[in-house]
Amino acid sequence: ALPGLSSLLPRWLAGQGLDGSSALSAHCGGLETCSPTVAHDLMLSLTSGGADGAAYGEALAAVRGGRRVPRALRTAEDAEHRSFPGRVALQPYLSQESERLATVLGLDRLDWYNVHPGPAVRALLNQLPGRLAAGDDPAELADRLILAADLDLAGRKPWYVMDFELSGTASGRPATAGLTLRTASSYRLTAAVGALAVDAVLRAGVPAGVHFACDVLDPDAVVRHLRDGNVADLRPTGAAAGADRVEEGVL
């Protein structure tokens, strides 16, 4: 889901009614259980996962003028967003995947926000860098993250949202294309992309070697599978809304 679908969906969006793309705003997050794999992966991403053992990304950074700019954005601990229910925390975070996406799409600006609707998880996430730096046991912190997610979810139904708004031009005029994905579980998204990757390899649909899924999977095929397989609800807006239009009487 992230990384992977988080880059495939903007690539699909760029092909829906826009002649060129200049800026992307992304908001991704939800309220669900935290598996041991996700918990330990998050611990690792704070210290590694990027090139040459660097961190997976940089908090508060954004793309400006086609380049990463540190501390370009600010955290909002009590905010609203049209695609997310209730009050949420918005954490700017520029991953290396997002930087690659900006380069591929030729973006001048990219703002990426991780959305945290759960106060227990958010409070622990704020403490993690300092605790890891102080030598706290990552395995123990991972267990605490699993518990925090369970506390936030208690008595509520799980959900996950990915929201994208891409700005550019259409027929020589400024235009936007949006896409909001909603699902009951981000784990279903992970499973879907993983299965599509395996299928593509078995069909010899990707070149030999090691690749990022977003570079070799067909965004149209991925979106079609998410829709037809009822994996998620996808709602295009703006210039992308034409992808859902059907003219009466046309066969």
**What's the gap between Cα 146 and its chain centre?**
20
How confident is the model at residue 52, as a pLDDT? 60
pLDDT at 82: 95
What DSSP character marks residue 99?
H
The DSSP element (H or E) to which 182 belongs, if any, is strand 173-183
Spatial CA neighbour of 99 closest among 203, 13, 212: 212
Instruction: Supply the pLDDT for residue 246.
Output: 45
Q: Look at the chain and report how many structural domains it folds into.
A: 1
Q: How high is the pLDDT of residue 242?
A: 73
Q: Can you tell me the distance from the alpha carbon of 109 to that of 194, in angstroms, rounded to the nearest whole number?
A: 29
Which pLDDT value is given to residue 248? 47
CATH number at residue 151: 3.30.360
156, HSE (Cβ side, Cα atoms, 13 Å): 17
Give the contacts of 108 (CB within 8 A, at least 6 positions apart). Answer: 22, 23, 63, 64, 65, 66
Return the DSSP state at 135.
Answer: T
The whole-number mean pLDDT for each consecutive block of 10 residues of the chain, a chain of 251 residues, reads 95 93 97 95 79 76 97 97 96 95 97 97 93 93 97 97 96 94 97 96 94 95 95 95 55 49
Say if residues 192 and 231 touch (Cβ distance below 8 Å). yes
Neighbours of 37 (CB within 10 A): 11
pLDDT value for 53: 63
Query: Are 178 and 236 within 8 A, CB to CB?
Result: yes
State the pairing for strand pair 67-69/57-59: unpaired
In a domain, 200, yes or no: yes
Whole-number pLDDT of residue 47 = 75
Q: How far apart are the first and last CA of the chain?
A: 35
Q: How far is CA 57 from the centre of its chain?
A: 13
Tell me whether residue 251 is in a domain.
no
To the nearest 10°, the Cα dihedral for 204, 185, 151, 129? 40
Assigned domain for 122 exists: yes
Please answer whether residues 153 and 31 qualify as being in contact, where contact means their C-beta atoms are separated by less than 8 angstroms.
Answer: yes
* Residue 86 · residue 115 · CB < 8 Å: no
Whole-number pLDDT of residue 247: 46
Q: Name which of 41, 6, 13, 4 is nearest 27 in CA terms.
A: 6
Q: Does residue 229 sit within a domain?
A: yes
* Contact of 121 with 77, CB cutoff 8 Å: no
> Does 250 reside within a domain?
no
Contact between 95 and 26 under an 8 Å Cβ cutoff? The reply is no
The answer to the question of residue 111 being in a domain is: yes
- Token pair for 175: 């235009």
User: Domain limits at 41?
Assistant: 5-243
Is there a domain that residue 248 lies in? Answer: no
Residue 132 lies in a domain: yes
